[in-house]
Amino acid sequence: MLENLTITGVAAEGKAIARHNDMVVFVSFGAPGDVVDVRIKKVQRRHVEADIIHFHQQSDLRSQPFCEHFGVCGGCKWQHLDYQEQLKYKQQQVTDNLQRIGQVDYPYETLPILGSESIQHYRNKLEYTFAEKRWLSPEEIRHAESITDQEALGFHIPGFFDKVLDIRKCWLQPEPSNSIRLAVKEFALTNNMSFYNFREKAGHLRNIIIRNNQKEELMVILVCSSGDEEKRDGLLNHIRDTFPQVTSLHYMLNDKKNDSTSDLDAVLFHGSPFITEEMEGLQFRIGPKSFYQTNSRQAYELYKVTRDFAGLTGRELVYDLYTGTGTIALFVASEADRVVGIEYVEEAIADARENADHNQLTNLTFTAGDMSKVLTDAFMQKNGFPHVIITDPPRAGMHPDVIRKIILSGADRVVYVSCNPATQARDIELMAAKYKVVKARAVDMFPHTQHVESVVLLERKR
């Protein structure tokens, strides 16, 4: 145990920071200004991780968590921090990474972070997991003989593949998300449907995914093992009849030992095969496996920043790398001469082409393939050398070969959108010989979490 530690800051991983002699102490659910006693739970070479066991003084920056599951389910780790303080530390995270990892020196323009208008019920997609045996609190374990409700429909406990917390109310997605989950669980229990057992790899019900859009349409995808068709269809009919807002109802059959659905076919059970999201008159069709930013309203703000940084005049050839379903490509197409989108996932490119056709946009082309293999000199000779590159890679950042091709492309401007400011800064440092950072803006897509989006404009050095 360490006593009378003063919390001084917040780390990028979401934990608070204190120091004991020369040792860094990462503290779960601490706030800057707390004075605490902690119990060490993990010792590393350069730091320790600890939990608070006693408060001598609580920080003025603390906020009362609103969720009964806070601290257990693993989501919304910053509910105990005032939202304006969350934004402050997210902004600091982006700035620190650019300077320490990216070696970016001033002067460059740092625009204020864009906070989310909604800090509850902001997600348009949640996935819940069925479990035959739910996670039990220490108190419940002490009285395990009296536990009768073993099944769970909720979220995995962090670090445990077989521990699922039964969720009573989640604040991430608007109603009727909670009502659907609770109704599904009640129907399944009443009709003796088996929940998944992670150790035995058996059980019929595995996951349920709920998607919504700003028009309050709903898509529900039930993931279960094959067999028990009568019970499966009974549950799907119950969802359809109880929640008429569900305009798109699907199921997937998963007999594998993992929960991935990317390789599964979605079967339409009722309604439309997709729901539709809109931005500035553009319509984006979202299917069961389509990628779409999970905070719809804030995605619009992110894309506006991206388009503004691109500085388009209508004459530019734009490359949109890691285009996904083409959302950014479509969003900037009206202000560009032509847009070329590249994405690894072939199904995403099929969605991008469909979205372009649906919106009657003819100045876009999309290519599927490994970015490091597609983005070649021959590809740019064929499609034209870009004036502007927009890149929005996964959390791991860009392959060094992709960075080299960006440098060799001769693009005047690169707009780098990232959900991981650390890997973004690493890649920017690799581009420093040819590109300078001109402008940066953080965008908060996920309130009450440590995650932040970062948009950086780079211009070619003359």
The dihedral built from the CA positions of residue 171, 172, 176 and 179, taken in this order, carries a sign that is: negative
Instruction: Say how far apart CA 164 and CA 459 lie, in whole Å.
Output: 47
Rounded Cα distance, 31 and 81, in Å: 7
| Contact (CB, 8 A) for 355 and 292 | no
**CA dihedral defined by 92, 93, 99, 101, rounded to 10 degrees?**
170
Q: Among the options 73, 170, 224, 419, which is catalytic?
A: 419
Structural contact between residues 189 and 148, judged by C-beta atoms closer than 8 angstroms: no
Q: How deeply is 148 buried, as exposed, middle or buried, from its count of CB atoms within 10 A (0-12, 13-18, 19+)?
A: exposed
Residue 131's DSSP bridge partners are 152
Distance CA 131, CA 156 (A): 9
- Beta bridge partners, 2, equal 38
SS3 311: coil
Report which residue type is found at 147. Answer: I
Element (H, E) at 358: helix 346-358
Please state the φ and ψ torsions of residue 299, each to the nearest 5 degrees: -60, -40
Active site residue 419: yes
Contact 113, 93 (CB under 8 A): no
Q: What does the chain come to in residues?
A: 462
Gap between the Cα atoms of 406 and 30, Å rounded:
41
Q: How far is CA 184 from CA 180, 221, 222, 248, 264, in A?
A: 6, 12, 10, 16, 22
Asked if 95 and 160 count as a contact pair (C-beta separation under 8 A), the reply is: no
Please give the Cα distance from 135 to 140 (Å, whole number).
Answer: 9
* Residue numbers annotated as active site: 419
